[in-house]
Amino acid sequence: MAHILITEDEPRIAAFLEKGLKSHGYATTTVGDAHAALSLAISDEFDLLILDLGLPDRDGLEVLSDLRGQGANLPVLILTARDDIQDKVSGLEGGADDYMTKPFRFEELLARVRVRLRTDNNKSASQPLMMVAHNVMLDLRTRKAKVDDQWIELPSREFILAETFFQHPGQVLSRQQLLDRVWGYDYDPGSNIVDVYVGYLRKKLGNALIETVRGVGYRLAA
């Protein structure tokens, strides 16, 4: 299991990242300051560092510089509100492996995490490339679904929603959990978008695949 170090001083975003990554089988440790981030990042206990630049005690670019200066080759994904091109250039030239700006969509972050872990000595090779339930198969490489013998293209959010159900067979998932997982921490919790997208999946993958648990949410049928 890959272990990801999250350095983020905004509690809401940190909790969102932690919950989302754990739901995909990653172990996470979260810190909110530069000193703790650097101390843990050089410990060889982690497979990836997600690094915010706007930390309260020190600039994240300085953390990155110290990390690389000490010879650590831990993959680093910068996740920051700084969207200036010079900041991005400084981060990548300073040794970061990737750079994302806030606000962000979790599915894009997850894809970049997977790429970084796969690139780094194929550490994610143990993660499944196919997921199967009933007569439906999800291909995590092509992000397509196969129903019986027919391949179906799924838009990004539909695929992430389907993947979430497949990762939690039989578990009831609330609408809020699905909103957090698929649409992100800043999406309107009063929206009926989850119900709409579950309807899309039922039409494409079969009505019986996803069950409604009245008053609670949805689950992958047993």
> How high is the mean pLDDT in each 10-residue block of the chain (222 residues)?
93 94 92 94 91 94 91 91 91 90 90 81 54 89 87 87 90 87 67 91 94 94 84
Question: 78 with 109: CB under 8 angstroms?
Answer: no
Predicted local distance difference test score (pLDDT) of residue 126: 46
Under CATH, which number does the domain 130-220 receive? 1.10.10.10
| HSE-up of residue 3 (Cα within 13 Å, Cβ side) | 9
Predicted local distance difference test score (pLDDT) of residue 207: 93
Predicted local distance difference test score (pLDDT) of residue 151: 93
- Give the domain ranges of the chain: 3-119, 130-220
Q: For residue 29, give the 3-state DSSP assignment.
A: strand
Predicted local distance difference test score (pLDDT) of residue 184: 66
Query: Peptide bond preceding 128: is omega within 30 degrees of 0, i.e. cis?
Result: no
Q: For residue 133, give the 3-state DSSP assignment.
A: strand
Sign of CA dihedral 196, 198, 201, 202: negative
**What is the C-alpha separation between 16 and 18, in angstroms, rounded?**
5
User: pTM of the prediction?
Assistant: 0.60
**What is the C-alpha separation between 137 and 148, in angstroms, rounded?**
8
Sheet (strand 210-213) strand order: 173-174, 217-220, 210-213
Predicted local distance difference test score (pLDDT) of residue 185: 56
CATH T-level topology, domain 3-119: Rossmann fold (3.40.50)
Predicted local distance difference test score (pLDDT) of residue 125: 45
**What is the C-alpha separation between 220 and 165, in angstroms, rounded?**
6
